[in-house]
Copies of this chain bind each other. A is one copy, B any other.
């Protein structure tokens, strides 16, 4: 779940506890400082030594990737929930709103969304395409109901969410990113 299911024997009790602390501290510090959050600070915040942190995540990149994967999985859950909304357009709009909402304050994910820092994000593809499958269905349904432009595609979804994420990440003052989302949702309508 966290690192990877592939590894066998369960963690020692204390190690498991530390792992959870590290993840939650990482989330908190990345949210607070973006990618500038330092490994050492994360360890300290979690109340463990750096060595311990590195035992679970061999690099900073690995740590960030783990966090991002979790969020993609959460996205998939949200998308699935929204798929059961009757109105096709509302399903799409609600999904976008909820995903954006859940992204707020998750700098690690935001960065991944935006591909910053030349990380390779190994192992994300899998989670990403699982999500894409669901989103594609939702878009298809919305198009079939003629409530959104016919030329809307799954790639547009990624791009637009990236832009909205940017508004969220960068514009700390100014109007809320929600407004940006509103504009885009309106712009998705036919024509």
- Give the contacting residue for A175; candidates B153, B170, B179, B188; CB below 8 A: B153
Q: Are A174 and B159 in contact (CB under 8 A)?
A: yes
Q: How many copies does the complex hold?
A: 2
Q: Determine whether the beta carbon of B171 is less than 8 Å from that of A156.
A: no
Among A138-177, those with CB < 8 Å from B are: 153, 155-156, 158-160, 162-167, 169-172, 174-175, 177
Question: In the complex, which residues of chain B have a beta carbon less than 8 angstroms from the beta carbon of A189?
Answer: 186
Contact A174 B188 (CB under 8 A): no
A165 to B114: give the CA distance in the assembly, Å. Answer: 11
Task: State the Cβ distance, A160 to closest chain B Cβ, in Å.
Answer: 6
**Interface check A180, CB cutoff 8 A:** yes
Tell whether A162 pairs with B167 under 8 Å between CB atoms, given A118-B36, A187-B184, A191-B186: yes
- Known contacts: A155-B174, A175-B153, A175-B155. The answer to whether A183 contacts B167 by CB under 8 A is no
